[in-house]
Amino acid sequence: MDDEEARQRVLDAAEALFYERGLQAVGIDDIRAASGVSLKRLYRCFGSKHELVSAYLDRTDLRWRSALAEYVSAVGGDPREAVLAVFDWLGLWFAEPGFRGCAFINAHGELGEVAPDVAAATRRHKEALLAYLTRLAERACPGAGRALANQLLLVVDGAIVTAAVHGASGAAAAGRAAAAALLDAAEHSRAARLHRDQQVIRS
C-alpha cells in the first residue's frame, strides 16, 4: 500500500465516521481501525486531525456538488425543470441509507466559529451552492436570478435540515412545490416589469 492509497482509505473511513457520528465523537483511533492504516502513516499523510477534517470537508464538497450538477444536467435543457430537478435529487439523497443531513451544517453547528477552518469551509460550500443555484435561476428567469437563487437556497437548506430531523418523508416534495411557486412568482414579477417598461417606452 503506497501513501496515495492510504490517503484514500483514511479519507473513506473518516468520511463515513465523521458524517455518521460527528467530528468530535470520532477519535483518530477509530479512523485508524476502520481504514487499516497505521497511526504513523496516518500522521505522515495528514499531520493532524484538523487537517483530516479539512480534507474530509473539501472532498465532500466536491463530490456533493458534482453529483447534484450531474443529475440536474441529465434531466435536459429546460431551465425551469432544471431548478425543480434539484429537489428531485435531494429526494433521492434524503432516501439514501445513513442520510444524516448536510455535513457542513452539522460540522458548523457542532464547532461554530470556534473552528475557523470548518466555518470557512462551510461558507465556501454554501457560496458555491448559491452560485450554482444562481446560474440555474438566471437561466429560468433572466434578470431575477440572484434574488430567486437566494430564496431557493433557503428552501434547499431548509429541506435538508427538515429531512435530517424528521426523516426523509415530504421535505423534498415540499421543497419542490415551494420552488415551483417561487419560480412562478419570479416569472410573474418579470412579466410585470417588462410590461411596465414597455409602457414607459410607449409614453
CA distance 168 to 134: 26
- Position of cell 466559529? 113
Give the nearest distance from C-beta 28 to DNA in angstroms.
Answer: 4
Take residue 25 and report the three cell numbers written for it.
465523537
Contact 35, 12 (CB under 8 A): yes
- Can you tell me which of 30, 65, 128, 170 binds a copy of itself, judged by CB under 8 A? 170
157 binds, among DNA, a copy of itself, none (CB under 5 to 8 A by kind): a copy of itself
Among the listed residues 20, 39, 150, 194, the single contact to DNA using CB under 7 A:
39
Does the footprint of DNA cover residue 10 (CB under 7 A)? no
* Residues 37, 33: Cα–Cα separation, whole Å: 7
Report the sign of the C-alpha dihedral through residues 125, 130, 136, 139, in that order. negative
- Residue 159 engages a copy of itself in binding (rule: CB under 8 A): yes
Out of 20, 29, 70, 81, name the contact with DNA by CB under 7 A. 29
Q: Does 60 sit near a copy of itself (CB under 8 A)?
A: no
Minimal distance, residue 50 CB to DNA, in Å = 6
